[in-house]
Amino acid sequence: QKEVEQDPGPLSVPEGAIVSLNCTYSNSAFQYFMWYRQYSRKGPELLMYTYSSGNKEDGRFTAQVDKSSKYISLFIRDSQPSDSATYLCAMSEMTGGYQKVTFGTGTKLQVIP
Amino acid sequence: DAGVTQSPTHLIKTRGQHVTLRCSPISGHKSVSWYQQVLGQGPQFIFQYYEKEERGRGNFPDRFSARQFPNYSSELNVNALLLGDSALYLCASSLEGAGNTIYFGEGSWLTVV
């Protein structure tokens, strides 16, 4: 079983829809939770960063963490064609004196005009 | 401010050859990490360096090595290249080695033929 599970999609939605992206994890030591957006052939771009259970909002993006269920989500409101990309969840833990980050496989999102 | 910069952006090598990839972190960041991203997968952790010392190593063979210089820039070296080493190699920087957000560069695309 992978430490981080993420549905690879692809997920196709119409412009303006609310998008829900999810990851589950098995490692209770994960402390920090991140979402990255990656356009084709580019490096990952940080979208959201949180370390506690609950919701964090930034513009059209809301990150949700439920540590009791080991489940995190990213919601995108009023989705735009420019949101079409691969979304990576990432989680980190302190181990052996360093911050180890584990990524999901990424969900490919397509927003259709 | 400049983000994480990596060079070269693309390169093609032959099996058995050696490659060196370079990374300059965001100004003020002291920690550099290296990741390998194979097509269709999330980034996999290779190394983390902080203050010129290796702090963590992922599950990669000894053919992979790295170092960090006094100016906090870093090199990733891969010896005896295999076809399976073809991937996007990502460098990420953070302020310190623990509990901080990591920011990625655009990566170096390595193709081994």
Q: Give the count of alpha carbons within 13 A of A41, CB side only.
A: 4
Residues of chain A in contact with residue B56, where contact means CB-CB under 8 angstroms, are 95-100
Record: contact B42-A101, CB cut-off 8 A: no
- What does the pLDDT look like over A24-76, one tens digit per residue? 999 999 989 999 999 998 999 999 998 888 899 999 999 999 999 999 999 99
- What does the pLDDT look like over B25-52, one tens digit per residue? 999 999 999 999 999 899 999 999 998 8
Cis previous bond, A10, omega within 30 = yes
Q: Taking chain B, what is the end-to-end CA distance rounded to the nearest angstrom?
A: 37
Give B10's DSSP letter: E
Average pLDDT over residues B72-99: 92
For residue B101, the model assigns a pLDDT of 83
Q: Confidence class of residue A95 from pLDDT cuts 50, 70 and 90?
A: confident
For residue B97, the model assigns a pLDDT of 60
Give the whole-angstrom CA distance, residue B38 versus residue A97. Answer: 27
Name the residue in chain A with its Cα closest to that of B54.
A98
